[in-house]
Structure 1
Amino acid sequence: MNTSLRNETSWVTKGVIVYDIIVIILLLITSTFSKPMFLGLLFGSIIAILNFRLLAIAVNKTVTMPVSRAQIYYSSQYILRMTIMGIVLLVSVKAPHLETLGVAIGLLGPKFVILAKKLLIDKLKRKEA
């Protein structure tokens, strides 16, 4: 994997950990913290990080392929990642020791981390200009 892509995935992984800590603090403040919620958040976050890494590997590999092979490869990787997400959500619904809301919040972690980074960087660049 290329260095900038590795740095970005590392940054998002660290951001998801911070995101989880913030969510846990909010759950404690609102008195909605429970073991199933914590396990759901942890499970969702781990799967989200692994899913993000799979995306990075797929993108890295796709850019070196010819266009026709790249389309097929990337589409199959997309279907694989979405299938994993579906299975994770199905497991969270069926498992009594996982809170489905916690899993969903964990799965959304990378999205919120990337959006927060984009907003903060844009805000800082505007202040500097």
Structure 2
Amino acid sequence: MNANLRDEINYVTKGVIVFDLTIMILLLLTSTFSKSMVLGLLFGSIIAILNFRLLAIAVNKTVTMPVSRAQIYYASQYILRMTIAGVVLLVSVKAPHLEILGVAIGLLSPKFVILSKKLLIDKLKRKEA
């Protein structure tokens, strides 16, 4: 795997951990802290990190394939990742010890980390210019 890709995966993974800790602090401050919410957040975040790593592996492998094979491979990997997310949400609905809102926030955490990184970098670049 490319070193830049590995660095980006590590950055997002660390960002998700910081994001989760921030959400837990907010839950404590708002008195909505519960074991099921924290478990849901952690469960969703772990699956989101694994899905993000699967995405990185798929992209890395796809760029080396011929176009026709790459389209099929990438589409199948996409379906796999979405199926995993769907199963996780279904499990969170059925499991009484997982809060679905926590799982959903956890599943979206890499997106929040990437968007916040993009916004911060753009803000810093504007100040420098």
TM-score category (smaller protein): over 0.9
Per the alignment, residue 4 of structure 1 pairs with: 4
Aligned residues: 129
Alpha-carbon shift at residue 19 of structure 1 (Å): 0.2
Per the alignment, residue 72 of structure 2 pairs with: 72
Alpha-carbon shift at residue 103 of structure 1 (Å): 0.3
Q: Work out the CA distance in 2 between the residues paired with 1:67 and 1:121.
A: 33
Q: Work out the CA distance in 1 between the residues paired with 2:103 and 2:83.
A: 15
Unaligned runs of 5+ in 2: none
- Structure 2 counterpart of 1:59, one-letter code: V
Per the alignment, residue 31 of structure 1 pairs with: 31
Q: Work out the CA distance in 2 between the residues paired with 1:126 and 1:38.
A: 37
Per the alignment, residue 106 of structure 1 pairs with: 106
TM-score, normalised to structure 1's length?
A: 0.99
Q: Deviations over 1:28-85 (max 9, x none)?
A: 0111110000100000000000000000000000000000000000000000000000
Alpha-carbon shift at residue 113 of structure 1 (Å): 0.1
TM-score, normalised to structure 2's length?
A: 0.99
Per the alignment, residue 84 of structure 1 pairs with: 84
Unaligned runs of 5+ in 1: none
Percent of aligned pairs sharing the same letter: 84
What do you get for the CA RMSD once the two structures are aligned?
A: 0.3
